[in-house]
Amino acid sequence: MTKYSLDGKVAVITGASGGLGEQFAHGLAESGANLVIAARRMKLLEKVAKEVETQYGIKAVPLQVDVRNENDIVRMVETAVSDLGTLDILVNNAGTYIVKPLIEQTLEDWHTVMDVNLTSAFIASREAAKVMIPKKSGSIINISSTFGFGGTEFPEVSYYTSKGGMVAMTKALAVELGKHNIRVNAIAPGFFPTEMSKGAFADDGIRTRMIEPRTALPMFAENEWIRGALCFLASDDARYITGHTLAVDGGWLAY
């Protein structure tokens, strides 16, 4: 990966105990950022923290956080400031989904997905802005999805809605916070073989019917390939980009 200049920056990543969140931690650490990595699974966070500290010589603070809890999110941002001095980069990555037909989806299902995927990003962005506005700098990066741009055969209406909401929120915050020199962008990953989506790759029908026909490039993604997009958007190389959603999907949305 091209090493973007993030030396001395402080980043907070939610959902960082595995999947793309773990990749984001490696990418930002390789570029020189110190990290607060947050999730519910503390043992996995400690493993990621040790890896990035050893490999890249940065400081990583693992923090057990349930993003459905407002107080946990407030504490997460406070920890970045108290332990690492400030907050420059926020990555709203925590996510979940519930696959059920519409008529079987409960209100609790809906709230669970919305709280994790969208409401947590709103709260974290609000708290991060309190740190970033006074110093007139910062980068917020929301992790949406190609599913935020349309439906598929997977019956998970709350997931599509939450990820579409991330795209809209990204634009709204970019406009509101732009005057403070705070950039807000999003990444819309396609199918990556993470813990969350490995079932899709294991299903021959889904792979050959949904993924392969709409992947323009002649290969499936590797999880590490998401790192560069995040580090670019976090860096000064993207200083004039805000309100944008970058699809990293092998051309899936081009169809």
Beta strand segments in 47-132, E: 60-64, 89-92
Q: What is the number of alpha carbons within 13 Å of residue 134 lying toward its C-beta?
A: 6
The mean pLDDT of 87-105, rounded to a whole number, is 98
Residue 254 covered by a domain: no
Residue 4 covered by a domain: no
pTM (predicted TM-score): 0.96
Domain that holds residue 180: 10-249
Residue 144 covered by a domain: yes
Residue 24 covered by a domain: yes
Q: Which of 97, 159, 160, 255 is catalytic?
A: 159
- The model's confidence at residue 101, banded by pLDDT at 50, 70 and 90, is very high
Is 56 an annotated catalytic residue? no
Q: What is the pLDDT of residues 15-55, one digit of tens each?
A: 999 999 999 999 999 999 999 999 999 999 999 999 999 99
Number of compact structural domains in the chain: 1
Residue 180 covered by a domain: yes
Q: What is the pLDDT of residues 216-242, one digit of tens each?
A: 999 999 999 999 999 999 999 999 999
The mean pLDDT of 104-120, rounded to a whole number, is 98
Residue 3 covered by a domain: no
Residue 181 covered by a domain: yes
What CATH number is given to the structural domain containing 175?
3.40.50.720
Residue 55 covered by a domain: yes
Q: What is the pLDDT of residues 120-170, one digit of tens each?
A: 999 999 999 999 999 999 999 999 999 999 999 899 999 999 999 999 999
**Separation of alpha carbons 11 and 180, rounded Å:** 18
| pLDDT score of 203 more than 90 | no
Helix (H, G, I), strand (E, B) or coil at 109: helix
**Mean predicted lDDT score pLDDT of the chain:** 96
What's the chain's Rg over C-alpha atoms? 17
DSSP secondary-structure letter at 115? Answer: I
| pLDDT score of 198 more than 90 | no
**Separation of alpha carbons 44 and 1, rounded Å:** 24
| pLDDT score of 2 more than 90 | no
